[in-house]
Amino acid sequence: MGFFEFHRDMATDWPMGTFLFIFVVILEVIVGVVVLALLFWLVDSRFLPHSEGSGVIIEKEFTPAHTTTTLTYNATLKMSTPSTIYHPDEWSLLIKIGQEDSWISVSEQYYNRHETGDVISLTYSRGRFSHGVYIKTVR
């Protein structure tokens, strides 16, 4: 049975097959959109030439260490079990380069050494299609 015959047969098997057909088509569309978005991101942001420049710190953000808990279904136990994920402290800077801005995570020492409004040296690249800024390193 081919791909299209499978969909046709499922769509015509009322009522359960029709509902499954709708579910499968929606799932295929979602997967397709995610794959296309990932491909766009890869082509737009990878293997680009780097530029040296400067930027202005326009915002600083500290996110303290925390945990998140999600429920994961365990088929063997036939129940959901909690999974706890630890997220360490994170120090981030929002840097403006020309008319664009971008967030980058930095070390605690770098974060404490600079204030909002400081001009810093950095290495960045611009997206092929989006022309967005991708900050690679700060100095």
Per-residue model confidence as pLDDT tens digits over 117-139: 999 999 999 888 888 898 999 98
Domain count, the chain: 2
Among candidate residues 107, 99, 93, 90, the one with its CA nearest the CA of residue 135? 93
Instruction: Classify residue 80: in a domain, yes or no.
Output: no
Domain that holds residue 19: 3-45
Q: Tens digit of pLDDT for each residue in 14-62?
A: 787 788 888 888 999 999 999 999 999 888 888 888 999 999 999 999 9
Check which CATH number belongs to the domain holding 57 and give it. Answer: 2.40.50
**Helix or strand (DSSP H, E) at 29:** helix 16-45
Question: Which one has a higher pLDDT value, 68 or 75?
Answer: 68
Instruction: Classify residue 33: in a domain, yes or no.
Output: yes
First to last CA, the chain: 59
Pair 7, 33 in one domain:
yes
Question: Which one has a higher pLDDT value, 86 or 76?
Answer: 86
Pair 7, 41 in one domain:
yes
Res 55: pLDDT: 96
